[in-house]
């Protein structure tokens, strides 16, 4: 066709796990595919994540003798996602996620293992499980990528020499509190030592997943064009037939004979879009998403006539700015006993150990015009700091330079701490007294912390009677400002069970697909389990590729 600079069968905008899965499946179905990434690195937000996938009734569960069924998954999705997302799309995910997993096992380097003991986020709900649906990528030797390893998006806080699985990290971070974790801690340290001395490049978590998929693309001759930002969709007679893009500063037109898959993330770093659509206060400064998540793909879809949904929601989680770089997402810290979260009145407002999306939902619901929960305050004592990691701070180590910033405070009394942090002193003292009583009895009568299996997953089993609760009574006391961060936005283009982008009237825009955070999430306003972001992205990337190949 005249006027095109390049021609492919399927164009994939974005380079996270979902994008790579789509390009790989398309190639192996006989389509000539290409991955277009606007930044200088591939991997997107996947490379910054834990790399988990939430896949009900997967083959690894069967191999491990863990019972699950599609019907249980349907019941669970009905009790978590509910009616917020069309049932056909939910059903497509429930039935085809495990198909996608088998496909990758048989046709790529992407291999996974069960996250040991990691439950669904709401395991007590009907259809929920205590473990098995959450998967993580197996460690990967990055040197197999050769020169293209250096193009993998780096993690801002994790040097390339450090490599650990979820279980490794849990055992290492709890080694000081629980001596039974020493073996795992030694394994973690030994692997890091080998990486440094032998210059191995073991990749773990999201970088392992991206590395495995990138090697698969490389071996199947699927090109990945970096510094190639899609700037517009080309539509002819109502069908998307290609894109305009800037490649290394040059404007080009690329023909996509079978269609275009938008997999470029959400709009986490687009402050204007967040202020227009999101919760308030809104900012792009609290997100942990990849810097490339600036919303252009969603805007292009809307310009082509697409409907949007869930634009006010995100994959929320509390973050801290105290480490000087990008926001740091807090997961394990909230479950450890001996700490709590309070508002500016010094009052608790949430189960601190709850799924991170619920913590931020509570922050926004309680904030109101007086901004009492944004920021919130994470309060802990000397015992907590001596036993557990907090972000990048190892147990018992609190560098003085952290005490000079506006996010982290230390004092010898709760009243002094409150004055420094901007908390009501009387409210904080009263709340700590009540919290300490709950710690002694083991029952959180206000928010039920420790009641759920999920609450206890990251907790300290050596603490009795409730592994999530311990008194805050040993000075000095510490406080950290906490913000409503996220792993990315979850609102975007409305899609159907084939990942096709839909108009307001429900009809599909021919030739246009959207997956991942460019699409409105199949999980609605919920977050059923670890990996409920990447799992759907890869599944619908796989589905989109097969649909494009067959139509």
Q: Is residue 295 in a domain?
A: no
**112-114 and 134-137 as β-strands: parallel, antiparallel, unpaired?**
antiparallel
Please report how the helices 17-28 and 87-107 are oriented relative to each other, as an axis angle in degrees rounded to 10: 70
Is residue 185 situated within a structural domain?
A: yes
Q: Does the residue 49 lie in any domain?
A: no
Length of the chain equals 551
Verify that 335 and 482 share a domain, yes or no. yes
CB crowding 210-223: b at 16 or more within 10 Å, else e = bbbbbbbbbeeebe
Quickly tell me which residue has 């069968």 as its tokens.
Answer: 9
Provide the 3-class DSSP secondary structure of residue 103: helix
Please check whether residue 379 is in contact with residue 160, taking contact to mean a CB–CB distance below 8 angstroms. Answer: no
Please tell me the predicted confidence (pLDDT) of residue 432: 98
- Flag whether 93 is in a domain: no
Which value, in Å, is the radius of gyration of the alpha carbons in the chain?
23
Q: Which two tokens stand for residue 226?
A: 């970096």
| CA nearest to 293, candidates 266, 312, 326, 261 | 266
Range of the domain at 180: 161-200
Give Cα 433 to chain centroid, integer Å.
35
Block residue for tokens 């007086």: 370
**Structural domain count of the chain:** 2
pLDDT at 61: 97
CA distance 226 to 247: 8
Residue 261's nearest CA partner among 222, 317, 287 is 222
With respect to residue 374, please indicate whether it lies within any of the assigned structural domains. yes
Tokens read off for 71: 């019907």
Choose the final residue of a domain: 183, 200, 217: 200
What pLDDT, on the 0 to 100 scale, is given for residue 177?
Answer: 65
Residues 193, 335: one domain? no
**pLDDT at residue 468, rounded to an integer:** 97
How many whole angstroms from its chain centre is CA 258? 30
Report if residue 299 sits inside a domain.
Answer: no
Does the CA dihedral 33-39-43-49 come out positive or negative?
Answer: negative
> DSSP letter string over 348-366?
--S-TTS-HHHHHHHHHHH
Q: Is residue 526 part of a domain?
A: no
- Return the number of other C-beta atoms located less than 10 Å from residue 506's C-beta: 10
Domain end residue (candidates: 486, 516, 541): 486
The answer to the question of residue 367 being in a domain is yes
Q: Going residue by residue through the chain (551 aa), what tens digit of pLDDT does each one get?
A: 468 999 999 999 999 999 999 999 999 999 999 999 999 999 999 999 999 999 999 999 999 999 999 999 999 999 999 999 999 999 999 999 999 999 999 999 999 999 989 999 999 999 999 999 999 999 999 999 999 999 999 988 876 667 777 777 777 777 666 666 676 677 777 777 777 777 778 898 999 999 999 999 999 999 999 999 999 999 999 999 999 999 988 999 999 999 999 999 999 999 999 999 988 898 999 999 999 999 999 999 999 999 999 999 999 999 999 988 899 999 999 999 999 999 999 999 999 999 999 999 999 987 655 678 999 999 999 999 999 999 989 898 888 888 878 899 999 999 999 999 999 999 999 999 999 999 999 999 999 999 999 999 999 999 999 999 999 999 999 999 999 999 999 999 999 999 999 999 999 999 999 999 999 999 999 999 999 999 999 999 999 999 999 98
Tell me, yes or no, whether 321 and 195 share the same domain: no
Q: Given 454, 486, 518, which residue is the final one in a domain?
A: 486
Start-end of H helices in 165-293: 166-173, 182-197, 205-219, 271-277
3-state secondary structure of 174: coil
Q: How far apart are the first and last CA of the chain?
A: 20
505: Cβ–Cβ under 8 A, 6 or more apart, which residues?
none
Angle between helices 425-441 and 414-421 (to 10 degrees): 130
Q: Return the pLDDT at 70.
A: 97
> Are 328 and 468 found together in one domain?
yes
pLDDT at residue 161, rounded to an integer = 66
């Amino acid at each position: 066709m005249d006027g095109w600079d390049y021609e492919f069968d399927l164009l994939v905008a974005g380079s996270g796990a979902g994008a790579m899965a789509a390009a790989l499946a398309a190639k192996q179905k006989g389509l000539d595919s290409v991955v277009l990434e606007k930044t200088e690195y591939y991997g997107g937000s996947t490379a910054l994540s834990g790399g988990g996938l939430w896949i009900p009734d997967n083959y690894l569960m069967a191999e491990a003798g863990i019972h699950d069924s599609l019907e249980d998954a349907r019941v669970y999705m009905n009790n978590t996602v509910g009616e917020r997302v069309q049932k056909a799309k939910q059903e497509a995910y429930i039935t085809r996620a495990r198909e996608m997993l088998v496909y990758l096992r048989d046709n790529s380097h992407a291999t996974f293992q069960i996250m040991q003991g990691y439950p669904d986020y709401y395991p007590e709900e009907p259809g929920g499980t205590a473990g098995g649906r959450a998967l993580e990528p197996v460690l990967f030797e990055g040197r197999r990528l050769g020169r293209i390893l250096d193009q993998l998006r780096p993690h801002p806080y994790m040097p390339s020499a450090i490599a650990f699985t979820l279980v490794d990290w849990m055992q290492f971070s709890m080694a000081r509190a629980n001596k039974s974790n020493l073996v795992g801690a030694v394994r973690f340290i030994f692997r890091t030592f080998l990486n440094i001395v032998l210059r191995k490049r073991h990749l773990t978590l999201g970088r392992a997943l991206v590395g495995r998929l990138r090697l698969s693309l490389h071996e199947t001759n699927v090109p990945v064009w970096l510094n190639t930002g899609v700037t517009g969709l080309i539509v002819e007679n109502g069908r998307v037939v290609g894109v305009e893009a800037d490649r290394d500063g040059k404007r080009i037109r690329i023909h996509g004979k079978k269609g275009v898959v938008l997999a470029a993330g959400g709009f986490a770093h687009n402050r204007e879009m967040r202020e227009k659509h999101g919760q308030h206060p809104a900012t792009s400064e609290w997100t942990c998403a990849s810097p490339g998540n600036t919303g252009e793909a969603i805007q292009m879809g809307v310009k082509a006539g697409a409907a949007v949904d869930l634009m006010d929601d995100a994959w929320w989680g509390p973050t801290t700015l105290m480490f000087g770089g990008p926001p740091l997402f807090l997961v394990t810290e909230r479950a450890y006993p001996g700490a709590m979260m309070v508002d500016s009145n010094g009052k608790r407002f949430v189960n601190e150990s709850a799924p991170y999306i619920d913590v931020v939902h509570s922050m926004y619901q309680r904030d109101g015009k007086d901004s009492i929960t944004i920021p919130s305050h994470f309060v802990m004592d000397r015992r907590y700091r001596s036993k557990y990691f907090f972000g990048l701070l190892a147990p018992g180590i609190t560098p003085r330079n952290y005490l000079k910033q506006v996010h982290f405070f230390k004092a010898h009394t709760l009243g002094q701490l409150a004055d420094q942090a901007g908390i009501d002193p009387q409210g904080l003292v009263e709340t700590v007294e009540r919290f300490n009583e709950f710690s002694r009895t083991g029952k959180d009568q206000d928010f039920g912390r420790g009641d759920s299996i999920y609450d206890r997953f990251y907790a300290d089993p050596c603490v009795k009677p409730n592994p999530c609760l311990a008194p805050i009574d040993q000075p000095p006391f510490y406080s950290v400002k906490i913000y409503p961060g996220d792993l990315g936005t979850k609102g975007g283009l409305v899609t159907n069970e084939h990942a096709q982008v839909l108009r307001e009237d429900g009809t599909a825009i021919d030739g246009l697909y959207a997956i991942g955070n460019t699409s409105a999430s199949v999980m609605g306003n919920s977050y059923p389990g670890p990996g409920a972001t990447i799992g759907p992205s890869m599944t619908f990337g796989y589905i989109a590729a097969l649909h494009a190949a067959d139509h």
